[in-house]
Structure 1
Amino acid sequence: MQTLYITHPACHLHEMGDWHPECPQRLDAINDQLLSSGIDGLLLHEQSTDATDADILRVHATDYWSFLKRSVPESGYFEIDPDTLMNPHTLDAARKAAGAGILAVDSIMAGHAQNAFCAVRPPGHHARPSLAMGFCFVNNIAVAAAYALEKYGFERISIIDFDVHHGNGTAEMFAGDERVLMCGFFQESIFPNVHTQNQPKNMLNIPVEAYASGEQVRKLVEDRWMTDLFEFEPQFVFVSAGFDAHREDELAQLGLVEADYAWITQQIVSVAEHSAQGRIVSFLEGGYSLSALGRSVVAHLKVLAKL
C-alpha cells in the first residue's frame, strides 16, 4: 500500500498578510520539492473533505466554534491576536485541514493506504479547546485522533509532536486520557512558553535548550520516547510534523537537518509497524524557511513511503 498525500486548494486561500511567516507559499514550496525530487508520482493523492461541526466539537467548545463562525470577515482580516488572523477563507481552510485527518484515518482503515501526510494549513497543534492561538484555529490532529478513538474504538493511540514549539493545545485536549500517549520535544522558553513540570503520566513533552543539535535530539528520542512508545503499543500513530526545528528556520534556534527528520520518521515507523499495523497519519504544522520546509517534508515522506 502507498502513502496518501492529502491537501486542498482552499488551504492556499487562507492568509494573514504579506508579512506573515505562516503563508500560502509554504504549500507551494512543498509541492515544488515533491516534483523536483521525483516522488510526487509515487504517492496517492486526494483532496480533503470538510470536517463536520460534530467532528470539531469532539475537541473544541461549542461557544468557541460559534465564535469562529461569527468572526469570518467579509473582507480584510479579523484579528484574534496579533499573530492569528482570519480572512474570508480561513474557516473553509480550517474545515478542510481538519477534514484531511478524518479522510486519512478512514482511507487507512479501509485499506486504501498504509499511511498519510496531510499537507494542510492553517496548522492546528496550538489551538486550545476554547482559544485560537499560534497561527492555529482548529486542532487538526486532535480532531482526527478523537474521531479515530470514537469511530474505530481504539484503546491506545500515540500522538508524536516534533514541531519546535510545544503542542500545547493537543496536550490540553488529551491530558489524563489513558488511551493516548503524547510524546514531543520543543525548544524551551519560546512560544507558547508552557512549563511541563508535573505533566500527567500520558504526556512526555520534553524541553530542549536553544542551539541543540540534531544528534542531541536523536539521543533524546532514543532515550526518552522509544521505550515508552513500544511499551504502550499504540494501535494508531498520529504525528504533528513541524519542520521549524531546522537549522535554517529563523523562528527558533535548533539545529536539525533533513537527515534528522528522516531518522525521527523512521523511529515513528518502527513503532507503528510494531503495534499499529503501520498506521500513521502525519499533519503539517510549522516550518517557515521555505526551502528547508520543502526538503524536510520530502525526507519525511520518503521514509513513510519507503522510497
Structure 2
Amino acid sequence: MTTALYTHPDCLSHVTPEGHPEQVARLRHVLAALEGKALDRHEAPLAEEADLRLCHPQRYIDHVRSSEPAEGITQMDPDTWMSPGSMRAALRAAGGAIAAVDAVLDGRADNAFVATRPPGHHAETESPMGFCLFGNVAIAAKHALERRGLKRVAIFDPDVHHGNGTQDLVQSDGRILFISTHQQPLYPGTGNRDEYGPHDTIRNIPLPPETDGETYRMIVTQQVLPKIESFAPELILLSSGFDAHKDDPLASVNLETQDFAWLTDQMTALAAKVCGGRLVSCLEGGYNLEALAEAAAVHVDGLIAAGA
C-alpha cells in the first residue's frame, strides 16, 4: 500500500503581504523536501460549497468568496489576507483533506498527507482568523461522519498555536474527539485546560514556553495517546503544524526535528492499533522555512514507513 500526497499549484496563488509568515515559500519548501519520496501523488480537488457547509454557514462562504479581490490583496482580519486566487487555494485545501479521507477509507492509501495552504485550524464558524479561511480538518472529519458513515473520529492538533477554529467547529459533535497541545500564553489566547466541551470530547494541553522534546514526549505518551485509544476512533486526523520546532520565529517551544519523527511514529502506531492504520495529516503551521521542510520531510517519511 501507499502514502498518498494531495497538493495543488493553486495553493501557490494565495499571496500574502511581503514579510508575512504564512507565505507562498512555505509550501514550496515543503514540496521540495518531499521530492523523490515514494508517494502516490494526487492533485487536490476543489471542495464544493456543500462540503464547506458541513462546518460553515452559506453566508460566511459568500462573505469569503465576495472578499477576494480582483487585484492586490485584501485584509480579512489582523493576520489573514486574500489575493486573487485565494478562494481556489482555500477550496483546494478543504477538497484535498476530503479526498485524502476518501482515499484512506476506500483502501486506496494506507495514510495521507495534505500539503496545501491556507491552513485551517484557526477558522471559526463565521470568522476568518490566524491565516485561515475554512476549517479544513474539521470539514474532513464531518465528511467522514456524515457521508462515509463513521461513528467516531479523533483530531490531534500538535500545532504550537491552539486550534480554536477546529474546537469551535467540532465541540458540539460528540462523535469527534479534539485534542490540542499548544504553547500558552500565545496567540490566539484560547485553549485552557478546563475546556471540555458539551460532550466531554475536548482536551486542551497548554505547554509553557521552552517546553523541550523530553517533556513533550512524556505529555503525548501519558495524556494524548491513551485518550485517543480509549475513544476508539475509526479515523485519526492530524492538524500537522510544525511550529513547535525550536527554530520557529512565532513561538518558543523547543522541539527538535526528530521529535516530529517520534510523534509521527507514535500516531501511526496508534492508528494501526485502533483504526486499521487510517490516518490523514493536513499541513497547518510552521514558519521557519528550513525547519518546516525538515520536519515535514521526517513526518512524511514516518507515514511512508507505516504503510510499507
Shorter-chain TM-score: which interval? over 0.9
Report the counterpart of residue 79 of structure 2 in structure 1: 83
Where 1:16 maps in the other structure, the secondary structure is coil
Q: CA deviation at 1:276?
A: 1.1
* Aligned partners of 2:195 and 2:203 also within 8 Å: no
What amino acid maps onto 1:128 in structure 2? Answer: E
What code does the residue aligned with 2:185 have?
S
Superposition deviation, residue 205 in structure 1:
1.4
| In structure 1, C-alpha distance between the alignment counterparts of 2:79 and 2:9, rounded to whole Å | 23
Per-residue CA distance 1:254-290 (angstroms, 9 max, x = gap)? 0001111111111111221112110111000000100
Measured in 2, the distance between the counterparts of 1:107 and 1:228 equals: 26
Give the number of aligned pairs.
Answer: 303
Once residues 75 and 172 of structure 2 are traced to their aligned partners in structure 1, the CA distance between those partners, rounded to angstroms, is: 32
The residue aligned with 2:274 is 275
* Conservation of the 8 A alpha-carbon contact between 2:160 and 2:183: yes
Partner secondary structure for residue 74 of structure 1: coil
Q: Is 1:159–2:155 an aligned residue pair?
A: yes
Match of 2:232 in 1: 233
Superimposed CA distance per residue, residues 108-162 of structure 1 (whole angstroms, 9 cap, x where no aligned partner): 1222111100000000000001000000001110111111111111111100100
How do 1:104-253 residues align onto structure 2 when only pairs under 5 Å count?
Answer: 104-196=100-192, 197-200=194-197, 201-253=200-252
TM-superposed deviation, 1:195 = 4.2
Report the secondary structure of 1:159's partner residue: strand
Structure 1 residue runs of 4 or more that deviate by more than 4 Å after TM superposition: none
CA distance in 1 between counterparts of 2:300 and 2:145 reads 25
TM-score by structure 1 length? 0.96
Q: Would the aligned equivalents of 1:104 and 1:281 in 2 still touch at CA under 8 Å?
A: yes
**Contact 1:4 / 1:116 at 8 angstroms: preserved in 2?**
yes
**Partner letter of residue 28 of structure 1?**
R
Q: Which amino acid aligns with 1:98?
A: A
Give deviations 1:278-304, integer Å, cap 9, x for gaps: 011100000010010000001111111
TM-aligned CA deviation for residue 199 of structure 1: 2.1
1:55 aligns with 51
Q: Secondary structure at the match of 2:155?
A: strand
TM-score (norm 2): 0.96
Aligned in 2, Cα 1:26/1:198: closer, same or farther, shift over 3 Å? closer
Separation in 1, partners of 2:77, 2:147 = 34
1:193 maps to a residue whose letter is G
Q: How many Å separate the matches in 2 of 1:25 and 1:219?
A: 33
* Aligned residue in 2 for 1:13: 13
Letter aligned with residue 296 of structure 1: A
Task: Indicate how the Cα distance of structure 1 residues 195 and 102 shifts in structure 2: closer, same or farther if over 3 A, else same.
Answer: closer
After superposition, the CA RMSD in angstroms is: 1.1
**1:77-117: CA deviation from partner (whole Å, max 9, x where unpaired):** 11112210110111010000100011111111222111100
* 2:227 aligned with 1:260: no
For residues 20-78 of structure 1, what are the alpha-carbon distances to aligned partners after superposition, in whole Å with 9 as ceiling and x for unaligned? 1101111111122223xxxx341110001011000001101221111111111110111
> Retained in 1: the 8 A contact 2:195–2:202?
no
Q: SS where residue 152 of structure 1 aligns?
A: coil
Provide the residue aligned with 2:22 in structure 1. 22
Contact in 2 for aligned 1:97/1:122 (Cα 8 Å): yes
- Aligned twin of 2:68: 72
Deviates more, 1:187-196 or 1:121-130: 187-196
Q: Distance in 2 between matches of 1:109 and 1:254?
A: 34
Identical pairs, percent = 39
- C-alpha contact (below 8 Å) 1:233/1:274 kept by paired residues: no
